Structure 1
């Protein structure tokens, strides 16, 4: 039910943009991710790329993803992609925050506090 409510809110906002009404300010922690979510939704509504780009541009203005980015993401969603997260890239730091690593570091810190310090 929550997803349906979210989809209805997006559709209403997008329809307001297209019809020329004033669009309420949307608060977002991650606008590119939000735009990808909206783009995925528009693809599922069988909007064309041109329609989807116009709606995003109307909704986000200068903060809209570039036309090329919108095209790439739109194409990915049309091909069946579900995630809106970036793909890992070479040179990107790996994420190694695990319970095991946290415990190892905590143990090292506790052992270091117990030592007499440098000799």
Structure 2
């Protein structure tokens, strides 16, 4: 009956039972609890240093190539390069975003 009345915008049966349990336990917060799971460990200092060393040896390596060398996900390697090492791709080379004159 709920499907007929509300169409696609109704809660699933499991979600209704979950909300009922929350309400019965006098829980007012509807935000999800923290979950145990795989921690984000790809941006550890050791990995950042290793990626920095690899890129400084050969700036023409692709993100995929670096990811295979350090055995980390490609998106995580890209995030480390952009956010941690402050690099961007210029003419097929990874270089610091703020170039300095030496």
For this structure pair, what is the TM-score category when the shorter chain's length is used for normalisation? Answer: 0.3 to 0.5
Taking structure 2 as the reference length, what is the TM-score of the superposition?
Answer: 0.32
User: Greater helix percent: which structure?
Assistant: 1
Higher-Rg structure is 2
User: Greater strand percent: which structure?
Assistant: 2
Taking structure 1 as the reference length, what is the TM-score of the superposition?
Answer: 0.29
